[in-house]
C-alpha cells in the first residue's frame, strides 16, 4: 500500500479568502427590483443573445449562464428578462472591492464578481477566527450592496476557490491546512482548477476519476500522459499545493468612496442629507481601516434623468473623521442650489489620500483630550467584531429603501 505524501508545510500558514458573488448580475437586479426575487428571472437578451446570469428560481427550470436566450424562454415561458446594465454592475463591483480594502491591501479582483483576499498578516488585527471575519464580510456586502456572496477560506488560492464553490449559494466554507487532504481527495478530477471537459475525459480514460487517484499517481507518469507542465500542475494541486500569491491592486492614485441609489427618486432634502451622512461615515470608516487620510472631498449627485454632476472641495487639514467629510459634502451640496430636483443617487469620495503616519494633525486649543477620533475608532472596533450594524448614529437607524453601489 502506497503511503500518502503530506501536503506542503513550513513557513507561516496563509489565510486566503475567495469571495464569489452569487448570480451577480441577477442579484444586483433583484436588489434594484425586489419583486423579481421569487420569480424566474435572467439577465441577458430577451430573444437574441445569451443568458448572462440567472437567479435560483430560473435555475430550477434548467436555465444557466451561457445558454441562448431563446432556449431559456422555451424552458420557462414566464421567465422575466432584464437587459444588462454594465455600468451599474461595475459600480456595485467597485463598491464591493472597497469593502475588501477595509480588511487588507492584499486584494485581487479576479473578475467583476469574484476576488481573492490574503488575510495572513491582517488576522492579528482582525482576530483569530477566520470564520467570524468571513461572516462579517458577507454581512457587510449584503448590508451595503444588497447582494449575497459565498466565501471560501483556505491555506491558498486553489483551496479557497474550491471551498467557495462548495459554499454556494450564500454560504461559507473553511478548509484548514490540516484538513486539506480530507477535503480534496474525494472530489472528482474536474473539480481541479483548469481541468475542463477535454482534460477530464483524458484523465478518466487513464482510470483517474478522483483527486485521490491523481495524487497517488507518480508525477512522472502524469507528465508523460498529460505533458510536463500540466502533469506537474495536476500532481501538485492534487496534494493541495498552490504557490501563487494574491496579486494586490496598485492604484495610481488612492481614493475611497461610496454611493447609494435611492429605491425611488426623491426631492426630500432631509432624506438626501441623511444619505450623504451615511456615505461620509462609510467612506471615513474605510479610510481609517486603511490608515489613510485626505483633504479632497468629492460629492456626486445623479438626478432622475440620469444626469450626474460632481463637485469637489478641499479641507484645511487632512482628516479621516466623518463629521469633517460630511460638513464639506453638505457645503458642496448647498452650493448646487437645487429647487426640488428629484435625485436618484448620491456619493461621497475622498481623493488623493496619503498614509496617516505621514501627516501631522495640529490639535485645536479647545479640543478635548478624547474626542470624535477616539469615538469613531471605538465604533470601528465594535463593527469589526460584531458586524456592520453593531453601532450606528441615531439618525442613520431609520433607513429608506435604497440600492447600494
Specify binding-site residues.
20, 113
d(CA 183, CA 185): 6
User: Which DSSP state fits 387?
Assistant: -
What b/e string do you get for 285-315 counting C-beta neighbours within 10 Å, with b at 16 or more?
Answer: bbbbbbebbbbebbbbbbbeeeeeeeeeeeb
Chain centroid to Cα 348, Å, comes to 19
Nearest CA-CA partner of 13 in 139, 160, 115:
160
H-helix or E-strand spanning residue 152: strand 149-154
Look up residue 357 and give its DSSP letter.
Answer: G
Strand order in the sheet with 172-174: 107-111, 114-118, 16-21, 149-154, 172-174
C-alpha distance across the termini of the chain, in Å: 56
Cell of 402: 435604497
Binding-site residue numbers for Mg(2+) are 20, 113
> Catalytic positions, please?
114
Counting every residue written for the chain, the total comes to 405
Look at the block and give the residue holding cell 459554499: 167
Chain-centroid distance, C-alpha 284? 19
Q: Judging by beta carbons within 10 Å of its beta carbon (0-12, 13-18, 19+), is residue 158 exposed, middle or buried? A: buried
DSSP state of 47: S
Amino acid at each position: 500500500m502506497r503511503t500518502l505524501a503530506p501536503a506542503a508545510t513550513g513557513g507561516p500558514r496563509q489565510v486566503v479568502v475567495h469571495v464569489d458573488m452569487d448570480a451577480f448580475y441577477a442579484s444586483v437586479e433583484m436588489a434594484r427590483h425586489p419583486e423579481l426575487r421569487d420569480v424566474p428571472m435572467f439577465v441577458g437578451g430577451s430573444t437574441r443573445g445569451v443568458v448572462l446570469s440567472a437567479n435560483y428560481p430560473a435555475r430550477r427550470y434548467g436555465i444557466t449562464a451561457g445558454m441562448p436566450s431563446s432556449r431559456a424562454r422555451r424552458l420557462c415561458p414566464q421567465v422575466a428578462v432584464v437587459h444588462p446594465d454594465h455600468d451599474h454592475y461595475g459600480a456595485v463591483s467597485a463598491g464591493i472591492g472597497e469593502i475588501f480594502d477595509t480588511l487588507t491591501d492584499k486584494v485581487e479582483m479576479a473578475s467583476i464578481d469574484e476576488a481573492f483576499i490574503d488575510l495572513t498578516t491582517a488576522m492579528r488585527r482582525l482576530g483569530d477566527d477566520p470564520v467570524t471575519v468571513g461572516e462579517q464580510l458577507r454581512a457587510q456586502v449584503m448590508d451595503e450592496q444588497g447582494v449575497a456572496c459565498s466565501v471560501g477560506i483556505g491555506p491558498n488560492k486553489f483551496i479557497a476557490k474550491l471551498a467557495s464553490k462548495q459554499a454556494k449559494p450564500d454560504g461559507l466554507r473553511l478548509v484548514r491546512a490540516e484538513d486539506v487532504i480530507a477535503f480534496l481527495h474525494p472530489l472528482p478530477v474536474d473539480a481541479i482548477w483548469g481541468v475542463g471537459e477535454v482534460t477530464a475525459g483524458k484523465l478518466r480514460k487513464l482510470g483517474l476519476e478522483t483527486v485521490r487517484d491523481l495524487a497517488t499517481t507518480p508525477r512522472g507518469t502524469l507528465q508523460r500522459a498529460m505533458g510536463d507542465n500540466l502533469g506537474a500542475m495536476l500532481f501538485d494541486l492534487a496534494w493541495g499545493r498552490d504557490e501563487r500569491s494574491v496579486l494586490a491592486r496598485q492604484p495610481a492614485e488612492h481614493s475611497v468612496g461610496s454611493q447609494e441609489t435611492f429605491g425611488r427618486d426623491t426631492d426630500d432634502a432631509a432624506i438626501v442629507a441623511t444619505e450623504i451622512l451615511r456615505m461620509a461615515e462609510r467612506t471615513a470608516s474605510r479610510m481609517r481601516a486603511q490608515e489613510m487620510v485626505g483633504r479632497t472631498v468629492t460629492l456626486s449627485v445623479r438626478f432622475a434623468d440620469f444626469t450626474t454632476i460632481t463637485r469637489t472641495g478641499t479641507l484645511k487639514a487632512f482628516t479621516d473623521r466623518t463629521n469633517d467629510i460630511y460638513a464639506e459634502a453638505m457645503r458642496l451640496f448647498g452650493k448646487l442650489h437645487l429647487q426640488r430636483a428629484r435625485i436618484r443617487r448620491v456619493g461621497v469620495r475622498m481623493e488623493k489620500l496619503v498614509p496617516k503616519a505621514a501627516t501631522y494633525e495640529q490639535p485645536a486649543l479647545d479640543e478635548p483630550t478624547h474626542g470624535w477620533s477616539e469615538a469613531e475608532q471605538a465604533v470601528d472596533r465594535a463593527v469589526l467584531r460584531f458586524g456592520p450594524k453593531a453601532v450606528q448614529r441615531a439618525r442613520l437607524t431609520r433607513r429608506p429603501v435604497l440600492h447600494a453601489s
